Structures are given as structure tokens and as C-alpha cells.
Structure 1
Amino acid sequence: MAALSMLVYIEECIYIYRKVLTPKKTAINWVNGAAPVIATMSCLGMWIPKATMFTDMTSGSYFAIVVYKFLIMMVEECGGDEEFLKRCGKNTLRISTGPCCCCCPCLPRVAITRVHRGHTGGTHRRTLFLLKLGSFQFALLKTVFSILSIILWTNENFDVANMEITGAAIWINPFVGILTIIALWPVAIMFMHLRPVLSSLRIIPKYAMYQLVLVLSQLQSAIINILAMNGTIACAPPYSSQARGYLMSQQLLILEMFIITLVNRLMYRRHYDPLPLIDPHEDDNDQNTKILQSESGDNIL
């Protein structure tokens, strides 16, 4: 199943590179590769148990890049930064979304563009830049912390099962978790804003598959590993409880990522038509509608 997932992904990459323009095709291929890469790394970790540290870190680093690329893909589906700002620049963003602020509906809406004019008269799109930066930091720092963890592991200073205050894992893993939450927030904000615009491009099922990969590769694996470390998963010689937990997690991921790869193929391997052009009179029509509504209200009074 891992081999088939990779073959399906390679065929899909060839199709997208032929049919889709840059830079959209790069973002699509990155997002599409999450499931087959995780399946392949899980397969390698299952057959070579001593390489589990390397395969897990590779999968985690790749998915960190996917989080950033999914945000870029949504912007590119609108036609790029400039086209996105033309379509949505006059609107506001609702920032009271998960995973950070879903319990804070009172938060104010934020303008998409904050224009700062300098001596040259140029503009700086601050909000869009901050959204991209919020996801990009995870792609960068997750890779850095993965390399650091591997270096410490080779020196026997990093052990996931070591929860003592002097251990490296108790400091690195929670910090990476905070970075993950911060990175997922801009993607959720952008998705909530572009969901009506990109509904014809199946953005809702694409986002659902992206979230499913996140839950299965991060949350499911963490739960199984915690159960294994606590001895809840019984040992079966020659496998210890922790080894059985890793084996169970990797077997489940191979099956789940294979199914997600097939579903993603149905959604991404298609003819990519541009979004309909913006009606230049749309704002005028909306303004006239508001004026007529206010006049009718005055007449009634």
C-alpha cells in the first residue's frame, strides 16, 4: 500500500506539472505528497525499527511544510497575492477560529490589508504577510528542532519516554506543540474566509483531508505512543509494549494514508480552470442596494 501510494502520487505529480501553471502546481504537489510520504516513512519505520526516530522526524518536518503550502495553495487558487487582494482586500477576517481563539467570538475582525505608504508611495500588505509568516515559522522551526532532536538522540540525550525535567524531550515537544497550534491558526482563518469563494474548487473536502492527515499522523500516533509507554498496550515477545505501540501506529498509518491518497487523487487530478473574473461594478451595485434599502426604510418611517 505504501508503494502504491507513492506510485499514484508520482503519476499525479506528472499530470499536475503538465496541466497547472507555476507556482500553484508546486503548492498542490507539496500538499498532495503528505499522505504518500507519511505512508512510506511508516513502512520504513516498521521494517527498520532502529530508524523510527528518523522516519518520524521526516514525516513531521514534511507535514510542517504542508501546513504552510496549504495556505499558499488557497491564495494561489484565487490567482495569487494580487488577485486575492482584489477579491478580498475590502473585506475583514474573522480571527475567532480554531485552534487558538475558537472560544473568543468577541474578538474584532481584522482588515486584510493595512496599507503603509512610505516615501516611495509603495504599499505593504501586512495582514497577508503575517498569515504567511505564522505558518512559515512552523515549517522552518519544526525542521530545525527535528535536526536538533536527532543530534541529541545520537548522543543519547533525547528520549521520548523520558519525562524528567532534565530531559530534552520534555522541553522540545511542548514547544513544538505550541508552534503547531500557532501555524494552524492562519490556515483556519484563511479557509473560513475563502470557503465561499473556492467552494467550486472543492476546498472543503480538501481541507477535511488535510485536517484528517494532521489528526491521524500527529494525534493518533501520540495517543498510541502514550498508551504504549504506560504499559496499556500489552507486550508480546519478542516485542515490548512500546515496540508494539510503534508497530500498531505505523500499520494503521499505512492503511489510512493509502485511502487518503486515493481520495486526494479524485480531488486534485482534475482540469484547473481559473476563477470567474471580478465584476468591476459589483461594489457599485452593493452600494446602490444599500442606498435603496436605507431610502425605503426612511419612506416607511
Structure 2
Amino acid sequence: MDASNRSVDPSCQSPPPLAIEIILELEVFGIILYSVLTFMAVVSMVVYIEECVFIYKKVPSNKKSVIAWVNGAAPVIGTMSCLGMWIPRATMFTDMTSACYFAVVVFKFLVLMLEEVGGDEAFLARAPKHKLRISTGPCCCCCPCLPQVGITRRSLFLLKLGSFQFAVLKIAFTVLSIVLYTNNHFDLTDLEITGAAIWINPLVGVLTNHRLWPVAIMFMHLRVALRSIKIIPKYAMYQLVLVLSQLQSAIINILAMNGTIACAPPYSSTARGYLMSQQLLILEMFIITLVTRLLYRRHYEPLSEEEEDKQEMVKNTKLTIAS
């Protein structure tokens, strides 16, 4: 049969379905799946609320805010994904909300590492013994010849500014995208050179790389000193949330827009791609929420100078033996 005569289901070219349409179309498997995923999202938020109560009762005031922000990354993304799953036409707004929240978490994680080591002054006190290695990912991991930078108030300010500026710019670009969307000038599926999305999204991607660089520099500098408070698995969870919420979702959505993910009425290819992304995120963020709760459950005091020196000595001894 000629391709031009093939019938195409109208729903494959229609906007995402309304919430009531989803409810009416659900079969037994769909009801079970949606119920389980919704339960996971609710449990994630309940666990986070319980963790916030623990934080505000047991954690010193200088750490309460940053730990609460960092702990909330997975539950917030999971909850927004659940809303996007039930209300597909709100997916763009739920994704933007998650991205804005995580943009703030990036800055808060950097501040958290500073607070765990004793604050800005304690970090600056490390200047006589240590320097910052800037040849790290995601910007300069391929440039090992870059010189190390001294620890000064200026370098600390630039590290904070590097991660804070993205939190501000991400929110600004989100507001701009919503304004353009209300005027029919912003469409995620519009890849034409005249579309706003083709300009805004790559710019946000470049800014994302630059915002991660200061956090990576700080982590590489403090990972030995903060090993006793499990900073490495904490950083791994932070990176995992980033990869799953940004990279995984982007890959699935690109496959959907290219038609690799088939249409399944009442979902178009693009809407089905978003649905798959939301459902995966709910499950993944649920697991990360439970792991994060275990990592942050204990309260740690700032490390003493003697403990830092001991950990540095152990590290140097291991390097000597290995060589």
C-alpha cells in the first residue's frame, strides 16, 4: 500500500491527553502501575518531611538549611514527576520546577561541604597547606597541565559565584520560557532556528557544565578531609540525581521527538516519551531518597585540624606505597 494512503491515529498528532482522559483509559495493569508509582512519590515526600523534622531538631543552625535543600532534591523531582505523569499537559512546568530546584541544590551542596569542614574561615585556614586543583570535570578534566590555584577569599568567592549564578540564571530562563510559552513562542518540540527552545536549551546546557565545575573543584579538594562523614557517597547521590533528571530525560525525549518511541494512543510519540521519563524518575528518586536518608541521618561536627592532618597522612602513605 502507498505510504500516503496509510491512516494515522489522530491521537498520534494531538496534544497530550487530559488527566480525566488518562483515568478513563486506564486498564488493570495501568491502575496498578500508576498506584504503585504514586505511592512511591508520596512515601518519598513523607520520608523527606520526617527528615526535615529530624534536621531542625538535631542539626546545628548553620547546617539546617543546606542539608534540608540537598535532601529535598530526589523527593521534589519525584513528586513533580508524579504530577507530570497524571497531568501530561503540565509536564513542561513540572520539569522546569524540578530543574530550578536542583539548580539551587548545586549551590547548596557546595555550601554544605564548606560548613562540614567548619565554614569559610576554616576553609581559608587551609591555605598554607593546600591548593585548589582546577583540572577537573566537567570543564577541564582533559587539561592536567593547568596550575593549581591558591586558597584565598577571592578564589572562594569565585567558586561560590560560579554555582550561584546558575541558580539565578536558571530561574530567569525558566520565567522567560513560561512567558514565551504563553505567547506561543516556546515549544520544546520546535527545533527550527527561529524557535526559542533551540536557543535557550543549549545555553542552559552550557551553563550547567560551568555550574558543576566549582562543586567538583571543592569536592576534589575536601574529599579526603570529609571522608569520615561519607562525602563521597553523598557526592555520588548528588551526581546520580543530576544524570537521571537531566541526561536520562534528555535522551528519552530526543528519541521520542525523532519517532524512535512509538505512538500509543492517547499518547503521541513525544507525550509517551515524557511519560516514560516521568515514570522512571519516580522509581529512581524513590530509591535515592531512601539512600540519602541513611547518608544524612547522623549529625557530624566540623573536623578538627588534627583529624584532617591524620587523614592527609594516611592518604600520602597510601600513595607512597602504591608508587
| TM-score, scaled relative to structure 1 | 0.88
SS in 2 for 1:272: coil
Letter in 1 for 2:59: V
TM-score normalized by structure 2?
Answer: 0.82
Q: Which residue number in structure 2 is paired with residue 159 of structure 1? A: 187
| Other-structure match for 1:266 | 294
Contact between 2:74 and 2:286, CA under 8 Å: does it hold in 1? yes
Cα distance in 2 for residues equivalent to 1:204 and 1:90: 22
Structure 2 residue 110 is the aligned partner of structure 1 residue 71:
yes
1:243 to 255, 268, 271: 271
Alpha-carbon distance in structure 2 between the residues aligned to 1:172 and 1:83? 39
Give per-residue Cα distances to partners, 1:195-247, cap 9 Å, x unaligned. Answer: 00000000000000000000000000000000000000011111111111011
Residues 227 and 18 from structure 1, CA distance in 2 versus in 1: closer, same or farther, beyond 3 angstroms?
Answer: same
Aligned partners of 1:69, 1:271: CA distance in 2, in Å?
17
1:36 aligns with 2:75: yes
- Per-residue deviation, residues 137-173 of structure 1 (Å, max 9, x unmatched): 0100000101110111111100111111111011101
SS state of the match for residue 295, structure 2? Answer: helix
2:18 counterpart of 1:18: no
**Deviating more after overlay: 49-58 vs 67-76:** 49-58
Amino acid in structure 2 at the alignment position of 1:104: C
Amino acid at match of 1:235: C
CA distance in 1, matches of 2:64, 2:175: 28
Equivalent runs, 1:147-296 vs 2, <5 Å: 147-278=175-306
CA distance in structure 2 between the aligned counterparts of 1:163 and 1:255, rounded to whole angstroms: 30
**Counterparts of 2:184 and 2:207, CA distance in 1:** 25
In the TM superposition, what is the alpha-carbon distance from 1:89 to its structure 2 partner?
5.2
Note the residue ranges of structure 1 that are not aligned, 5 or more in a row. Answer: 114-124, 287-301
Aligned residue pair count: 271
Q: Does 1:62 align with 2:101?
A: yes
Q: Which moved more, 1:46-55 or 1:251-260?
A: 46-55
Deviation at 1:277, TM superposition (A): 4.0
Displacement after TM superposition at 1:29 (Å): 0.7
Distance 1:271 1:174 in 2: 40
SS at match of 1:87: coil
The percent of aligned pairs where both chains have the same amino acid is: 76
Take 1:271 and 1:164, find their aligned partners in 2: how far apart are those partners? Answer: 51
Instruction: Check whether the contact 2:114–2:120 (CA below 8 A) recurs between aligned residues.
Output: yes
Q: Is the 8 A contact 2:127 2:150 kept in 1?
A: no
Which residue does the alignment assign to 1:53? 92
